[in-house]
Structures are given as structure tokens and as C-alpha cells.
Chains A and B, each alone.
Chain A
């Protein structure tokens, strides 16, 4: 079993729709979690950190479920510019020196 798993997609949704995807992780000792966005042929960029209490940034909401060991990303009122691959990132420890695992990414395509 992979340490961090994501549905590769693609998710193909109409503009304005709400879309959500999950990421599961295998190590219950994992401490911190992130969502990154990667555009085609570009580098990943930090979208948001995921906090235990859940957090929201505009149209984006991230949640953590430690009991079931998954994090989720919800995008409301999706825009064409949201089309990208979304990477789930799990840090096994408390610092940036800890083991960090990237998911393979979920591809999202927003259609007009």
C-alpha cells in the first residue's frame, strides 16, 4: 500500500460546480498536511496547509480526518483556472526535516 494515495482522476466538472477529492495516508503518526497545485509542465505550488480544525481560503476548504486517516480538498464555484493537478503532501514529523511524502496527484479539468 502506498504511504499517500490519491485518486488520479481526471475529474471533469462544469464551471461553477463543487468538486471534492480525498487523500489517504497510511502512517497514523503523520503530523502535518498540505495541498499543492501543479499546472501542466510547471512546478508544484503550495495551495494551503491542512489544520486539524479544518481551514478555508476563499473557495477552497481543506479538512483532516485523523481517525480515518484522510485529508480532503473542496473547491466551490469552480473556475476554468482551477484546472490543474492537486497534490496531497504528508509530513511524518514535526519539522521540515521530517519525512515528507507526496501523493501522485489528482487531475482536475473544469469545462466551460
Chain B
């Protein structure tokens, strides 16, 4: 089974802090994604990556950046956390080709105070 692991289940950060959310997958998948999920809005794509050192903006990239230095790891960075970034963050991966369904990590519930 593909495993996608997110480093933290719950995080509480202060406004203005720099926040790192880590995601690691163990099945050699090329594609990795970061979403946020908010009530009534569904999942919205923040950034995605098709390969090492490659990144593409999703639908709501403002206030976020990403890093993919190794194939298995995709990091989401909140440069200066704000209260409107309080959300559930979900990482997902898929292999190339497809279309395949996503495998999601268990999510990180981030609260910015």
C-alpha cells in the first residue's frame, strides 16, 4: 500500500510565523500535491509537483511556497502565517500516467492564532 505521511497531525502557530508542513511518500510517485480543505469549499489545490525541483501553482498559491528537493518529499511553506490560513492541509501523491486516484496523507490541522 502506498503510504503518504504528513509530519504533524495538529499544529498551532502564531500570526507571522514561518510554518513548514512536511509530506513524504514511500512508493516512488512522481506527482505530489498540496491541498487545503475548508468547510463548504471542498479541497483546493495550492501547489503541485511532477518531479524533483519542479513546482507548479495550483488555484490558491498566494501566501504559500513549496520545495521538492527529493522525489519522496514535498514541503509546503507558509512564509508568514495568517489567521485565514487556518485549515486542514492534505498532501497527496500519484504515479505518472493514469489517471489514477490520489492517495492522501492523514492531514495536518493547522490553527493560526
Give 1 or 0 for each of A1-29: 1 = CB within 8 Å of chain B CB.
Answer: 00000001000000000000000000000
Within 8 Å of chain B (Cβ to Cβ): is A34? yes
Identify A96's interface contact among B42, B45, B99, B104, CB under 8 A.
B99
By the criterion CB–CB under 8 Å, are B99 and A98 in contact? yes
Give the distance in Å from the alpha carbon of A94 to the alpha carbon of B99 in the complex: 6
A43 — which chain B residues lie within 8 A by C-beta?
90, 104-107
B104 — which chain A residues lie within 8 A by C-beta?
43-45
Chain B interface, number of residues (Cβ within 8 angstroms): 24
By the criterion CB–CB under 8 Å, are B31 and A104 in contact? no
Chain A interface, number of residues (Cβ within 8 angstroms): 26
Within 8 Å of chain B (Cβ to Cβ): is A32? yes
Give the distance in Å from the alpha carbon of A91 to the alpha carbon of B102 in the complex: 11
Within 8 Å of chain B (Cβ to Cβ): is A36? yes
By the criterion CB–CB under 8 Å, are A91 and B99 in contact? yes
By the criterion CB–CB under 8 Å, are A36 and B42 in contact? no
Give the distance in Å from the alpha carbon of A43 to the alpha carbon of B35 in the complex: 11
B103 — which chain A residues lie within 8 A by C-beta?
46
Give 1 or 0 for each of B13-40: 1 = CB within 8 Å of chain A CB.
Answer: 0000000000000000001000100001
From DSSP, what is the main secondary structure of chain B's interface residues?
loop
By the criterion CB–CB under 8 Å, are A96 and B106 in contact? no
Give the distance in Å from the alpha carbon of A95 to the alpha carbon of B48 in the complex: 14
A31 — which chain B residues lie within 8 A by C-beta?
99
By the criterion CB–CB under 8 Å, are B43 and A96 in contact? no
- Given A96-B31, A96-B94, A97-B31, does the pair A102, B42 have CB atoms closer than 8 Å? yes
CB-based closest 7 A-B pairs: A96-B98, A46-B101, A104-B42, A43-B104, A102-B43, A96-B94, A32-B99
- B interface list, Cβ under 8 A from A: 31, 35, 40-43, 45, 50, 90, 94-107, 109
- Ordered by A's residue number, 27 sampled pairs between the chains whose C-beta atoms are within 8 Å are A8-B40, A31-B99, A32-B98, A36-B101, A41-B109, A43-B105, A43-B106, A44-B90, A46-B101, A46-B102, A46-B103, A87-B42, A89-B102, A91-B99, A94-B98, A96-B31, A96-B95, A96-B96, A96-B97, A96-B98, A96-B99, A96-B100, A97-B96, A100-B45, A102-B42, A103-B42, A104-B40
